[in-house]
Amino acid sequence: MSRPAIARINLDALRHNLRALARRADRARLMAVVKANAYGHGLDIVAPALMEAGCRAFAVTDAAEGAALRRILGWEADIVALSGVFDAEDARWCAEARITPTLTETCQVTMLSAAGFRGNVWLKVDTGMRRLGSPDAAALLNACRQAGLGIAGLMSHLACADAPDHPLNQSQLEAFRAQLNALPERVPGSLLNSAGLATMPEAAMDVVRPGIALYGVEPVSERPLGLQPVMQLTSRIMQVRRIQRGESVSYGATFTARRNMRIAVVALGYADGLPRLLSNRGAAVRLAAPESRLPIVGRVCMDYCLLDVTEADASAGDEVEFWGPNLPAASVAAQARTIAYELFTGVGARVKREAHGAPLRERGAP
């Protein structure tokens, strides 16, 4: 048997989420954010399913991810690199793979021109996140026009959209509208991520850029969008052992049995993406009996973790879920003092991604 750590990717749930977000976006075009290997879900699984469901615009982080996505999706897809252009090689990849980079600096225009890039670019302005963004969108736009580049639109990114009442939301929206209106020509606008779509759909403008919501995590729990979890992270019990009261388990002997117990050793550890912070505090569920939680006992190891199965009818070979339909990723993340984004993108390369749900049609490579 090969290593049984599996991330099941539910394509029916993915399509459901895409439809829910498209309805929420109303007339705005949806750009699916599939950076970082589709938030750890597997770019080669997620992107073709979205494309087949009607999505045409995709956002990755850089030209390298964009070139990989181009090989998967072919020439019909509109692929945007959110981090822009790092260097001359990046600019060349943008030209060759027809990636639309997001620019913040005029030096990037120079690099693109030198690479023979003749396509479109997004412009990015800062409106309060104070991360990437041009201080002068009009000057950047002029530099692009002089270099013969097309303008796909102007975007900005919200810092606090998951807190609906945060004053930055309104001030960023106003600043963004002011920047759009100050441009010498009308260009499409894009401000909203997943949480923005949940909290301020009236600001959808021309293009929205949801990421985490596509994967089924409600971006704002008090404004649910009816999303379904896409990833189910599972592995199998390798061995069930009895330990006596007073005996300890795993590295550091941080857990000592207060009674005689049954302990299951499961093939999933921190190298697979199970946070070590779940040591002695997280839980899993056995798929055969998902209503009862099996606490993680002792330290999570690189390749294994240990579950208390004293009260469960568990045996070697049983499949257990660490997050998914039975254990919401957001609550697991909260227990591990992180966010679902980090859980998903931390799923290790050795965890097999398996597509489930209605199959895709055969599609030709470019």
Cβ proximity to ligand PLP: between 82 and 351 the closer is 82
Asked if residue 211 binds ligand PLP (CB under 6 A), the reply is yes
Candidate ranges 14-22, 40-48, 190-198, 327-335; the one touching ligand PLP (CB under 6 A): 190-198
Closest CA to 352 of 6, 85, 3: 6
| Residue written as token pair 């982080």 | 61
Beta carbon of residue 5, minimum distance to ligand PLP (angstroms, whole number): 24
Where in 144-229 does DSSP place strands (E)? 150-155, 189-190, 207-208
Cβ proximity to ligand PLP: between 80 and 300 the closer is 80
At 93, the amino acid letter reads W
Cβ proximity to ligand PLP: between 212 and 309 the closer is 212
Return the half-sphere exposure (C-beta side, CA atoms, 13 A cut-off) of residue 293.
12
Asked if residue 101 binds ligand PLP (CB under 6 A), the reply is no
Beta carbon of residue 292, minimum distance to ligand PLP (angstroms, whole number): 32
Asked if residue 15 binds ligand PLP (CB under 6 A), the reply is no
Cβ proximity to ligand PLP: between 69 and 249 the closer is 69
Asked if residue 209 binds ligand PLP (CB under 6 A), the reply is yes
Choice among 39, 124, 215, 251 that is catalytic: 251
Cβ proximity to ligand PLP: between 221 and 248 the closer is 221
**Which member of 7, 20, 30, 33 binds ligand PLP (CB under 6 A)?**
33
Q: How far apart are CA 222 and CA 227, in angstroms?
A: 13
What does the block give as tokens for 326? 């039975």
Query: How many residues contact ligand PLP, by CB under 6 A?
Result: 11
Closest CA to 81 of 112, 55, 49: 112
**153 to 141, 196, 306: CA distances (angstroms):** 10, 18, 51
Burial class (CB in 10 A: 0-12, 13-18, 19+), 201: middle
Asked if residue 217 binds ligand PLP (CB under 6 A), the reply is no
Task: Tell me if residue 352 is catalytic.
Answer: no
Asked if residue 194 binds ligand PLP (CB under 6 A), the reply is yes
Task: Tell me if residue 35 is catalytic.
Answer: yes
Query: 118-157: which residues touch ligand PLP (CB under 6 A)?
Result: 157
Beta-bridge mates of residue 285: 293, 321
**Which member of 82, 257, 285, 306 binds ligand PLP (CB under 6 A)?**
82
Q: How far apart are CA 136 and CA 155, in angstroms?
A: 13
Residue nearest to ligand PLP as judged by C-beta position: 211
Asked if residue 212 binds ligand PLP (CB under 6 A), the reply is yes
Beta carbon of residue 207, minimum distance to ligand PLP (angstroms, whole number): 10
Candidate ranges 86-94, 164-172, 187-195, 274-282; the one touching ligand PLP (CB under 6 A): 187-195
Q: How far apart are CA 312 and CA 25, in angstroms?
A: 45
Where in the chain does DSSP place strands (E)? 6-10, 29-33, 57-60, 78-81, 100-103, 120-124, 150-155, 189-190, 207-208, 231-243, 248-249, 255-256, 261-266, 283-286, 289-295, 305-308, 319-323, 352-356
Asked if residue 172 binds ligand PLP (CB under 6 A), the reply is no
| Residue written as token pair 């227990």 | 335
DSSP secondary structure code for residue 125 in this structure: B
**Which member of 101, 210, 273, 275 binds ligand PLP (CB under 6 A)?**
210
Cβ proximity to ligand PLP: between 33 and 320 the closer is 33
Binding residues for ligand PLP, per CB under 6 A?
33, 82, 157, 193-195, 209-213
Q: Which residues are catalytic?
A: 35, 251
